[in-house]
């Protein structure tokens, strides 16, 4: 059974997304990584992704993973309450995949090498059964790699037989038909790790596909991300402070290990 990992990318350099680490986290597991890059990015995302492709593919015979790169311009007028442009771009990437199975990742998520055999076994099981997809819990690290935000740590369906599911909404999850089973495999999520000013810009950049720009704070008005008081992320002028409270009792200490490329990340 072959595995494709599609990842969409836009402004990954400006917003310091750890895309290189994400790709490295599936080297040796995926048969192909499909990078779908927005050529209208305001930074050097195209060059960054191409350099990453060359580097990984230079030793592809050793680990069996090949990186492929495609371009797709994001429609910044596709503004909706569900963030539909993220799913639209992800589905374009899905259509470019050639593997028997898909493991859809975002540019701030990673897989742990300790789960590689488990993922292969899940694909083998699905190939001889009527299982079409597997649910995995996404561990949401918050502030540092030792802290988990429990209320944002949720199950999502990202591993599935090609052609059975599609990305939906803001691309956090997928929809489709067929039997879904739970698995013990985890997805590791790192978007709330790093420079608080950069994190605020990441949120603002995402918000522009949920709300019209005139409803949002300007980039100059953004404040560094406040890990102690946000109970949700929003840069909408009318709701940026709604529901703000001190965050207590929603964290746990992470006692496991991290995917190899994310060991000591931002420490």
pLDDT at 242: 59
Integer Cα distance of 249 and 95 in angstroms: 41
pLDDT digits (tens, 9 = 90+) for 111-153: 999 999 999 999 999 988 899 999 999 999 999 999 999 989 9
Q: Is the pTM of this model over 0.85?
A: yes
Residue 247 pLDDT grade (very low, low, confident, very high; cuts 50, 70, 90): low
Residue 243 has pLDDT above 60, yes or no: no
pLDDT digits (tens, 9 = 90+) for 72-109: 999 999 999 899 999 999 999 999 999 999 999 999 99
Distance (Å) of CA 103 to CA 48, 150, 252 = 22, 23, 27
Mean pLDDT taken over the chain: 93
Integer Cα distance of 201 and 196 in angstroms: 9
CATH superfamily ID and name for 3-193+257-262 = Spore Coat Polysaccharide Biosynthesis Protein SpsA; Chain A (3.90.550.10)
Task: Give pairs for 86-92: CB < 8 Å, separation 24+.
Answer: 86/8, 86/167, 86/169, 86/170, 86/171, 86/209, 87/166, 87/167, 87/168, 87/169, 87/170, 87/171, 89/8, 89/36, 89/38, 89/171, 90/6, 90/8, 90/167, 90/171, 91/166, 91/167, 92/36
What ranges do the domains of the chain cover?
3-193+257-262, 196-249
Residue 59 has pLDDT above 90, yes or no: no
Residue 229 has pLDDT above 80, yes or no: no
- Mean pLDDT of all residues in 156-161: 98
Residue 266 pLDDT grade (very low, low, confident, very high; cuts 50, 70, 90): confident
């Amino acid at each position: 059974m072959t595995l494709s990992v599609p990842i969409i990318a836009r402004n990954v350099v400006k917003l310091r997304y750890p895309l290189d680490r994400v790709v490295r986290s599936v080297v040796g597991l995926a048969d192909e990584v499909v990078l779908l890059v927005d050529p209208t990015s305001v930074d050097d995302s195209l060059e960054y992704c191409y350099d990453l492709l060359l580097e990984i593919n230079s030793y592809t015979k050793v680990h069996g993973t090949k990186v492929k790169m495609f371009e797709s311009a994001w429609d910044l007028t596709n503004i909706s309450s569900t963030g539909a442009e993220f799913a639209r771009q992800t589905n374009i990437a899905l259509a470019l995949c050639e593997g028997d199975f898909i493991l859809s990742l975002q540019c701030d998520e990673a897989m742990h090498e300790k789960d590689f055999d488990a993922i292969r076994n899940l694909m083998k099981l699905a190939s001889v059964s009527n299982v079409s997809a597997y649910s995995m819990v996404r561990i949401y690290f918050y502030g540092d790699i030792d802290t988990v935000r429990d209320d944002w740590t949720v199950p999502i369906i990202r591993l599935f037989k090609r052609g059975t599911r599609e990305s939906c909404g803001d691309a956090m999850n997928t929809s489709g038909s067929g039997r879904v089973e739970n698995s013990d495999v985890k997805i590791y999520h790192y978007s709330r790790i790093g420079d608080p000013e950069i994190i605020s810009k990441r949120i603002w950049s995402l918000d522009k596909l949920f709300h019209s720009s005139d409803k949002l704070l300007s980039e100059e008005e953004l404040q560094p991300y406040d890990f102690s008081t946000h109970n949700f992320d929003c840069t909408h002028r009318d709701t940026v402070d709604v529901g703000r409270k001190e965050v207590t009792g929603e964290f746990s200490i992470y006692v496991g290990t991290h995917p190899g490329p994310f060991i000591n990340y931002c420490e």
